[in-house]
Amino acid sequence: MNPMNSGEQPNTVEMIQTDKQQVSTCLSDEEKQEINHLLEHYPDPGGAIIDSLKIVQKYQGWVSDTAISALAQHMNLPLANLESVATFYNLIFRQKVGKTLVHPCNGISCLLMGYKSVHQSLKQQLNINDGQTCPKTDITLISLPCLGACDKAPVMFVRQSNRSAKAETDSLFENLKPEAIKGILSQLTDNSLPGDTQE
């Protein structure tokens, strides 16, 4: 059960427990190849940790316990090194996220120009809170700090992953109005929005 979907955060520290068999087969040859290519760029394998985590994320959508253990083995680095990095950065996901990431900007300029009503509309249409994934549309909502487009505030960054094509499509929606949110979300999913059926 994915804790993000249930709306509950795990409140106990869990050990990373993985199955040896799963770990050994977790990384595809393509992933390993991309990581090996990266390792050549740095005088020390540690330099490739962040990018390797991003590669795993590109292929698998997020960084699972099995994946991070497999990475540690492949890069011949202590698991703790990778975990300390993976849990530090905003855009490395150690919990499962949806295929579409919706990131409204909550920087100061967007706040002054209407972030709150945009955010409210997003939560309502997806019927989730910030940090959760809408099971129906596979959209995850996470507000991000200042996206550097303050003259077009409020803005929203959307990253859609096509895991079979191992590609990500990024887009920035500018000068947002809360009433435009429904239309934008509808473009991002083939399913109807949970907000459609609600009063």
Partner 1 sequence: MSNRPAPTHPLTMHLNLEAPLNLADYQAAGGYEGFKAALDQSPENVLGCLKDSNLRGRGGAGFPTGLKWSFVPPRKDENDTRYLVVNADEMEPGAFKDRWLLEGAPHQLIEGLLIGAHAISANVGYIFLRNEYTVAATRLQKALDECYAAGLLGKNIQGTQLNFDIYVHTSAGRYICGEETALINSLEGKRANPRAKPPFPQVAGLWGKPTIVNNVETFFNLPCIIQFGAKWYQSLGRHNDAGTKIFGVSGRVKNPGLWELPMGTTAREIIEIHAGGMSEGYTLRGYLPGGGSTDFLLPEHLDIPMDYNDIGAAGSRMGTGTITVLDDKNCPVEAVLNLVGFFAQESCGWCTPCRDGLPSATYVLQQIENGKGKLSDLDFLQDICELVAPGNTFCALAPGAAEPLQSGLKFFREDFERHIKEGCCPYH
Task: Establish if 44 lies at the interface with partner 1 (CB under 8 A).
Answer: yes
Tell me how far, at minimum, the Cβ of 48 lies from partner 1, in Å.
6
Q: Is 144 in the site for partner 1 (CB under 8 A)?
A: yes
**CA-CA-CA-CA dihedral for 138, 168, 130, 145, to nearest 10:** -170
Pair 110, 153: CB distance under 8 Å? yes
The answer to the question of residue 146 lying near partner 1 (CB under 8 A) is: yes
Candidates 27-35, 37-45, 58-66, 185-193; binding stretch for partner 1 (CB under 8 A):
37-45
Which residue among 108, 120, 129, 192 contacts partner 1 (CB under 8 A)? 108
CB 49 within 8 A of CB 17: no
- Distance in Å, CB of 178 to partner 1, minimum: 16
> Pick from 56, 74, 100, 107: which binds partner 1 (CB under 8 A)?
107
Cβ contacts of 137 within 8 Å, gap of 6 or more: 98, 100, 126, 185, 188, 189, 191, 193, 194
Q: What is the dihedral of CA 41, 46, 51, 57, to 10 degrees?
A: 140
Q: Which residues bind partner 1 (CB under 8 A)?
A: 41-44, 46-51, 53-54, 84-85, 88-92, 103, 106-109, 111-113, 144-153, 157, 170
